[in-house]
Structure 1
Amino acid sequence: MQKSIDPAEGIMTVKILPGEFYVTKDNERIETILGSCIAACVRDPIAGLGGMNHFMLPVDKKASGAGELSDANRYGNYAMENLVNALLSKGARRERLEFKLFGGGRIMASMTNIGWYNIGFAFDYIYTEGFKIVAQDIGDVYPRKVIYYPNSGRARVRRLNKMHNESLAAQENQYIHNIESKPVEGDVELF
């Protein structure tokens, strides 16, 4: 996670990578770049609190109910629970949470369609938990840059052109290879 002041807007910008999430009540923006990954932007509009996660794979099929935060968040089942729990612990109310979903693109025809599995997981999670989706930009063939302002709930999405696809696909493939070979350890409770 990188933090810096955006010169154009003059506010703190937090850049998150796959397997990370960030929650804030401050006047900040959170941004990430997505290919087949999903980012959920979640907000309690009354509490003025929100956050974003970025996950690469839908579920850890070998989950034993525990995972080190940074490693576990590579999977949607951990990333969603950890983001929601962090919001609730800072004062958000479950019944007021609003979700915006982004990503899940099939950025290379030769790649598996992991983006659709990610999208399916995200919708299943949100509907099973009784949350509401207020906006989305998912699927298709584009990588995306997402900028989210948790205080206001505003989200900006820029669909990136195809010249970025090959480098993003290579990064995603390397990330998948790395996370599949690394065990998930630690203390995270799923419920």
Structure 2
Amino acid sequence: MNEIAKEHFATNVYYDRTFDCDAAKILPGEYYYTGKDMLIVTVLGSCVSACIRDRVTGVGGMNHFMLPDGDGDSPVSASARYGTYAMEVLINDLLKSGAKRENLEAKVFGGGAVLRGFVAMNVGERNAQFVRKFLKTENIRIVAEDLNDIHPRKVYYFPRSGKVLVKKLRQLNNNTLVNREQDYANRLQTNNVGGDVELFS
């Protein structure tokens, strides 16, 4: 695994009693992939997750990303770089783990209008448009999606079988999700992403 990818690879792996299996929890800006029979879980607000797997081998993974409001006039804005990076790093690691590009399929989730300050920028909607367009360009078929809406959602992904369970969170008991996404958005806008694009040129 390359050095830049390492910092984004989720390390929160635990045993999930409900599903009786190992699970990896991913936070904004992280991703996880595996060939094992396990669960990958995340909670999404305006962010988007792509669950991508090789439908033959069961090698699969999930990312969790948000497009910050990049410079719209630039041909490669910060937003495109972050979204593209999140997708590329997951796909590349799946291929290195034995997945075949022609067997890849995707399920995509998130993009809810949940961050009050982001409604005017349509962050959730832009994330949803981005992930659809990216996968179409890469010729990876989307076999299921649950995008947009106003509710956050918890996503449980079982890469081996391709099964996904989505729970709409009609009310949040606290502001953890909103604060986490807000912090993530602020981090993206202040971080220099110069080196990320060269990885895939």
The answer to whether TM tops 0.5 is yes
Distance change (3 Å), C-alpha of 1:93 and 1:33: same
Deviation at 1:76, TM superposition (A): 1.2
Gaps of 5+ in 2: 1-9
Is 1:5 the counterpart of 2:15? The answer is: yes
In the TM superposition, what whole-angstrom CA distance separates every residue of 1:132-178 from its partner, at most 9, and x where no partner exists? 00000110101000000000000000000133585422321222112
Distance change (3 Å), C-alpha of 1:143 and 1:153: same
Is 1:106 the counterpart of 2:116? The answer is: no
Gaps of 5+ in 1: 65-71
Inter-partner Cα distance in structure 2 for 1:149 and 1:45: 12
Q: CA RMSD in A?
A: 2.6
Tell me the percent identity: 43
Is 1:141 the counterpart of 2:150? The answer is: yes
Is 1:87 the counterpart of 2:86? The answer is: no
In the TM superposition, what whole-angstrom CA distance separates every residue of 1:27-58 from its partner, at most 9, and x where no partner exists? 11000000000000001011121100000117
Distance change (3 Å), C-alpha of 1:84 and 1:60: farther
CA contact (8 A) 2:68 2:189 kept: no
In the TM superposition, what whole-angstrom CA distance separates every residue of 1:99-127 from its partner, at most 9, and x where no partner exists? 00000000145433201111111011011
Q: Give, as a single letter, the amino acid of the residue that structure 1 aligns with 2:103.
A: R
Aligned residues: 185
Distance change (3 Å), C-alpha of 1:111 and 1:77: same
Distance change (3 Å), C-alpha of 1:89 and 1:14: same
Selected match of 2:39 from 23, 26, 29: 29
SS of the residue corresponding to residue 75 of structure 1 reads: helix
TM-score, scaled to structure 1? 0.86
Inter-partner Cα distance in structure 2 for 1:123 and 1:58: 17
Q: Which residue of 2 aligns with 1:181?
A: 190
